[in-house]
Structure 1
Amino acid sequence: MGQLILLIIAVVVLLFVVTTLAKSIRIIPQAHTGLVERLGRYKGSLGAGPHLVVPFIDKVRYVIDMREQVVSFPPQNVITEDNLGVAIDTVIYFQVTDPVAATYEIGNYIDAVHQLTSTAVRNIVGGMDLEETLTGRDRINAGLSAVLDEATGRWGIKAKRVEIKSIEPPVSIRDAMEKQMRADRDKRALILTAEGERQSAILTAEGNKQSAILNAEGERESQILRAQADREAAILRAQGEGQAIQTVFQAIHDGQPDQSLLAYQYLQMMPKIAEGDANKVWIVPSEIGKALEGLGSTMNSLQGIPQQVDGPRKRVDMGPSEPVEPAHDAELSKTDEAVRAAIAEASNAASPTHAAPVDSTDPAIDPGEVPPAR
């Protein structure tokens, strides 16, 4: 029995020792401060780490967080100067600088900051109209910071920053603002469209102008080149016609035509007189032989055309011409002899005295001259 009592006493003593040790050792986290009270009165502050206190006499009543804290308050309705209600959300960034003052100077510093913020927001926004409220966030933040710094300094709290999270105007005001913004955007879109069309028209006009200038220059150069080509073609055509006339004239001089040849040419032209569309009737006289004889006698007696052509034949100087291929010289000589023989035969047939034929092969006669008729 006595041993049981001793065992119970030993257990109780052990529990007392363990409880005493537990209450005498306190550990404070990093960035926190512990406030120690002795018999209900503030004794001191404990920093981060383990500490020994007097058990059952000293007590760590509060552990204050010394870090910067963020508190977001719910939206509150505020009346602006132009009697429009808006809902404003605020965010407070603060830090406890004096844990003793934050604990013993005010009961709940977070609630105190909330109420102070609501009062300050109503005061600041009440002196601003809706437009200034929506665009004056910096002004509201600066006013709140000044009010909180002045009021929370004695509470051991430092308001680092105050931010307006959102400003919500009434639904009708939001609809009107949306319509206004839509109208402004439509106006800017129309302005930009008009400017784009103007720039497009300007660029198009400049392009048309450059195109017209280039087309005009191209047309001018084309006309110049065409005129030059026409001029050169006309010159070449005139030169060709001149050479052709000279060739015909030279051939006439070389052939020495007389009245018989002219009469023969006239007889060749008579069928062509009847080829016209206006010639409906062609009368051939019965005395066609006598008419032809009379025509020959008439042609023989034309004034200015000699019956016989005397004197040497001389070629007209036509200037430089293209050289004749040597292979064609013999053929040209035969052709000239045949022409001379035909002209001589026609002359003898038309002349009443019948001039003696000329032997073109006689070596005593110069090919460039023809002896007079006998």
Structure 2
Amino acid sequence: MTDAGQIFGQLILIILIAIVAIFVLVILFRSIRIIPQANAGIVERLGKYHKTLMPGLNLLVPFIDRLRPLIDMREQVVSFPPQPVITEDNLVVSIDTVVYFQVTDARAATYEIANYLGAVEQLTTTTLRNVVGGLNLEEALTSRDNINGQLRVVLDEATGKWGIRVSRVELKAIDPPVSIQDSMEKQMRAERDRRAAILTAEGLKQSEILQAEGARQAEILRAEGDAKAQVLRAQGEAEAITTVFNAIHTGDPDSKLLAYQYLQTLPKLAEGESNKLWIIPSELTEALKGISEGFFGGKGPAPK
């Protein structure tokens, strides 16, 4: 019996040691918390906010402290489903929105709002309807930057007390009704055709202008050439007349010059109806013979 009692006592001791070891492990497991990077943990002690755990190794009081689900402190991108919005000219457009936000205060995001993600979505929808409701369709399609800026300011101001900072708001798509899309497409097609017609007309106009300019330049060059030719002919005749005049007045005309003058005078002598008898001096005959030799190289007979 003694041996059996000792064995039983040893078993009880072993069981107690195992229970204590398990209890210690449980205590350690519940006391040590490792928070990943870019996350934050909210600790409640006896149901009340106690502290915010930062990334790294943290210690808690077992069975007294409770760690709430971790909160992601990184910037988040949330795309909300398309929302129907009525514009100022009573057209229903579907707008798809993307919001960029970041939790800056884990305590406020936990206790100031029940569901901050749902709150951001609802606030975005409401603000979007207020902003776009004051614009007509054309303004809404061409004022995306303005709408984005107004949404960001309103959302950032409203979510600041929730420990959330809204950095950007983007409108992914603004889809007007199908009938309006067809009308806009026809209008754009007509505008493109009008621009093409204008460009074609401008091209033809420039072409005709260039052709007319080329013709004008050609006429100017042709006229300038004719003028220069007339000037050169006039200068040649003037030089010839000057030469004759100088020769006559210097009193030293040669035989060829006299023959040339005689030939210039013959048509005037032949004018009139009466018959005339011409007497040609022998000196003139010799001059004419010299002119003939000059013209024909001495091969032809001298004029008589």
In the superposition, the TM-score normalised over structure 2's length comes to: 0.70
Amino acid at match of 2:146: R
| 1:28 maps to 2:35 | yes
Q: Where do 1:215-226 residues align within 5 Å?
A: 215-221=222-228
Amino acid at match of 1:41: K
8 A contact 1:36–1:62 mirrored in 2 = no
What is aligned with 2:135?
A: 128
| Residue of 100, 125, 146 corresponding to 2:153 | 146
**Which sections of structure 1, spanning at least 5 residues, go unmatched?**
233-237, 246-314, 323-374
Residue aligned with 1:146, SS: helix
What whole-Å deviation, never above 9, does each CA across 1:31-88 have from its counterpart, x for those lacking one? 3221111222211111121111112221221322222222111111111122211000
Partners in 2 of 1:98 and 1:133 — Cα distance? 34
Deviation at 1:120, TM superposition (A): 1.4
| Residue of 162, 168, 177 corresponding to 2:175 | 168
Amino acid at match of 1:191: I
| 1:109 maps to 2:116 | yes
Residue aligned with 1:115, SS: helix
What is aligned with 2:107?
A: 100
Residue aligned with 2:70, SS: strand
* Runs of 4+ more than 6 Å apart: 223-229
Q: 1:225 to 1:58 in 2, by over 3 A?
A: same
- Paired residues, what number? 246
Partners in 2 of 1:46 and 1:102 — Cα distance? 14
Residue aligned with 1:51, SS: strand
Partners in 2 of 1:176 and 1:239 — Cα distance? 96
Partners in 1 of 2:182 and 2:201 — Cα distance? 28
Partners in 2 of 1:150 and 1:18 — Cα distance? 47
Q: Where do 1:84-99 residues align within 5 Å?
A: 84-99=91-106
| 1:158 maps to 2:165 | yes
Partners in 1 of 2:185 and 2:283 — Cα distance? 106
Deviation at 1:316, TM superposition (A): 5.7
Q: 1:316 to 1:92 in 2, by over 3 A?
A: closer
What is aligned with 1:71?
A: 78
Residue aligned with 1:12, SS: helix
Partners in 2 of 1:39 and 1:133 — Cα distance? 52
Amino acid at match of 2:61: V
Amino acid at match of 1:134: L
Partners in 2 of 1:52 and 1:37 — Cα distance? 13
Partners in 1 of 2:177 and 2:190 — Cα distance? 20
Amino acid at match of 2:84: N
Higher mean C-alpha displacement, 104-113 vs 7-16: 7-16
Amino acid at match of 2:102: Q
Deviation at 1:161, TM superposition (A): 2.2
Partners in 2 of 1:210 and 1:63 — Cα distance? 86
What whole-Å deviation, never above 9, does each CA across 1:151-194 have from its counterpart, x for those lacking one? 22221222222222211101111111111111112112212221
Amino acid at match of 1:76: Q
What is aligned with 2:186?
A: 179
What is aligned with 1:197?
A: 204
In the superposition, the TM-score normalised over structure 1's length comes to: 0.58
Residue aligned with 1:134, SS: helix
Partners in 1 of 2:228 and 2:135 — Cα distance? 76
RMSD: 3.2
Amino acid at match of 1:136: S
What whole-Å deviation, never above 9, does each CA across 1:10-34 have from its counterpart, x for those lacking one? 3333232222222211111223221
| Residue of 14, 18, 21 corresponding to 1:14 | 21
What whole-Å deviation, never above 9, does each CA across 1:78-129 have from its counterpart, x for those lacking one? 1112221100011112222221111012111000110111111122222221
What is aligned with 1:214?
A: 221
Partners in 1 of 2:120 and 2:188 — Cα distance? 37
Higher mean C-alpha displacement, 2-11 vs 59-68: 2-11
Partners in 1 of 2:191 and 2:36 — Cα distance? 57
